[in-house]
Each structure stands twice: as structure tokens, then as C-alpha cells.
């Protein structure tokens, strides 16, 4: 696991987007894992800028969203399908038919989850998964206690996550209780995981992810077993990392050929 500590959210977005840009340039038909929440927004802003100003070409790429609320009507502005469309896919030239989301309104949710896993596999798996992290250490919507081997399935949100996400809705009462999320095992299959986190509110979760024991109580800590994870954080989110000085030293002295 590589830990990159940068000054602010803008730098985090720039460096994470740089890794995606390098992938898409070398592998035009790359499969991207797309995350929502506010943390990845600067990443999408930078990708949109690279597309507009430097012609970064997504026309052969495809994407799979991490998760979706259950029960929001189609087109609801907070449905993750809509968020991904608004924040990313509408701003670049990715083919909309190649951008997939878990189906939170399927009658047969289990069948839809299995079909989603099959679609990811049929696309050849995810090359680069963008991730945020919840304040309780969740990734996707895999709340504490999730099986670390889980696949795409329905989950119940904790009250903490509902409260955290209430800012996107008119009131907490409107935040769904259920979601469909890629499982922890699904996320672990991605070839490269780029996790971004900013702000002091994420400091404890980032500490658990990087330096805590591997435990389902902080699901993101399972990434310690992932062969290629890059954690990109601002200094506030890094504020309780015990080895912060060492991570800074490693990054500053990295050979330029190494990449992320």
C-alpha cells in the first residue's frame, strides 16, 4: 500500500486523476471503477479538464459504479447513477452504454447483483477502482461487519452513514435505509485501487485503513492485503497517521519512473 500525503483536496484530485489519465492513455479500453460521495469530485473535475483541454480520450473506456441506493425513483438526483452521469460521464466522451450501475430498483435484486458481477467479469474486470472512505471505514457501502469476501449484494446502512449522507437530501428521513453495493471481494479484484480521502473527519478511518489491524470493523483495512493500492489524502485526513513523516519521505524520494 502506498500512502501519498498532499496539501489539499485539489492536489489529491490532480494526482489521482493523473493515475487514471496514464491508464487511459496506455490502455484506451480501460475499465474504470467509479465512486460517488464528495471525495472523488475533484478527481472528476480534473478528468473533465484533461478531456476538455488536453483531449484525454475516454471513447473506448468503460465504467462500473460501486453502489446504488435502493428505492430511489429512476432519475432521482441523488441516485448514484445520476451522480456519476452528472459529475463524470456527461463531462467526458465515455460511451453512456458502457457505464454500468448496480440496479437498486430491480424486482429481483439478488438476480441483478449476480448479473452485475457477471458484467464486470465479462468486461475483463476493473483496471482501476476509484474509492472514497466512509467515516466508519466503509468502502462502497460495505458497512462495519461486512464479510471481507462479499460480492455485490444488498446492505442496510448504519445510522451514522445515513446521517453522513443526509446533507445530500432534503432531510434524513429521505435517505434510504438500503443499498446495493459491490462486495469487498469484488473491490479487492480490481487491479489497482486508488482511494482518496480529505478532511479531518476522515482521519480516524484513514488511520484504521493504513495502520490499524485488518478487521471488518474498519472494512477499508482489508486493502492492506491488496497488491496495488494507492491511498491519496490531504494533510487533515493524514493527521493521525503515526508514520506520516515516513510516507512523505518515501513519496518525495520516489524514482520518477515508478508511477503510482
Ligand X SMILES: N[C@@H]1[C@@H](O)[C@H](O)[C@@H](COP(=O)(O)O)O[C@@H]1O
Catalytically active residues, by annotation: 67, 136, 138, 143
Give Cα 240 to chain centroid, integer Å.
Answer: 22
Q: Which is nearer to ligand X, 31 or 131 (CB)?
A: 131
List C-alpha distances in Å: 258 to 2, 119, 195, 255.
Answer: 12, 32, 18, 6
Beta carbon nearer to ligand X, 78 or 224: 78
Give CA–CA dist 139/133, Å, rounded. Answer: 5
Cα 259 to Cα 19, 20, 163: the distances in Å are 8, 11, 37
Q: What is the nearest approach in angstroms of ligand X to the Cβ of residue 254?
A: 26
> Least distance from C-beta 258 to ligand X, angstroms?
27
Contact predicate 211/241, CB 8 Å: yes
Residue 198 Cβ, how far from ligand X at the closest point, in Å?
8
Instruction: Write down the least CB distance from residue 129 to ligand X, Å.
Output: 11
Q: Which is nearer to ligand X, 1 or 57 (CB)?
A: 1
Closer residue to ligand X (CB): 127 or 164: 164
User: Using CA atoms, how far apart are residues 182 and 138, in angstroms rounded to an integer?
Assistant: 12
Q: How far is the CB of 139 from ligand X (least distance, A)?
A: 7
Instruction: Give the nearer residue to ligand X in terms of CB position, either 98 or 138.
Output: 138
Q: Which residue has the cell 485526513?
A: 237
What are φ and ψ of residue 184, in 5° steps?
-65, -40
Residues 6+ apart with CB under 8 A from 179: 67, 68, 69, 70, 104, 141, 154, 155, 157
Distance between CA atoms of residues 56 and 242, nearest Å: 38
- Interaction site with ligand X (CB under 6 A): 35-39, 66-67, 132-134, 140-141, 161, 165
Amino acid at each position: 500500500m502506498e500512502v501519498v500525503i498532499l496539501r489539499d483536496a485539489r492536489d489529491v484530485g490532480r494526482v489521482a486523476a493523473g493515475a487514471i489519465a496514464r491508464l487511459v492513455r496506455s490502455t484506451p479500453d480501460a475499465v474504470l471503477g467509479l465512486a460517488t460521495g464528495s471525495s472523488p469530485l475533484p478527481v472528476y473535475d480534473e478528468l473533465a479538464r484533461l478531456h476538455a483541454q488536453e483531449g484525454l480520450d475516454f471513447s473506448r473506456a468503460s465504467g462500473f459504479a460501486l453502489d446504488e441506493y435502493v428505492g430511489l425513483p429512476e432519475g432521482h438526483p441523488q441516485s448514484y447513477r445520476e451522480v456519476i452521469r452528472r459529475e463524470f460521464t456527461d463531462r467526458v466522451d465515455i460511451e453512456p452504454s458502457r457505464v454500468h450501475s448496480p440496479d437498486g430498483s430491480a424486482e429481483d435484486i439478488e438476480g441483478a447483483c449476480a448479473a452485475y458481477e457477471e458484467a464486470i467479469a465479462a468486461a475483463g474486470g476493473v483496471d482501476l477502482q476509484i474509492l472514497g472512505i466512509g467515516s466508519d471505514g466503509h468502502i462502497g457501502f460495505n458497512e462495519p461487519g461486512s464479510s471481507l469476501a462479499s460480492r455485490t449484494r444488498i446492505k442496510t446502512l448504519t445510522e451514522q452513514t445515513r446521517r453522513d449522507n443526509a446533507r445530500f437530501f432534503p432531510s434524513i428521513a429521505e435517505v434510504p435505509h438500503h443499498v446495493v453495493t459491490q462486495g469487498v471481494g469484488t473491490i479487492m479484484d480490481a487491479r489497482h485501487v486508488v482511494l482518496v480521502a480529505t478532511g479531518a473527519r476522515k482521519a480516524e478511518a484513514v488511520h484504521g485503513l493504513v495502520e490499524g489491524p485488518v478487521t471488518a470493523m474498519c472494512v477499508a483495512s482489508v486493502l492492506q492485503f491488496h497488491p496495488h493500492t494507492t491511498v491519496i489524502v490531504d494533510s487533515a485526513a493524514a493527521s493521525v497517521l503515526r508514520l506520516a513523516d515516513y510516507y512523505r519521505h518515501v513519496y518525495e524520494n520516489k524514482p520518477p519512473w515508478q508511477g503510482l
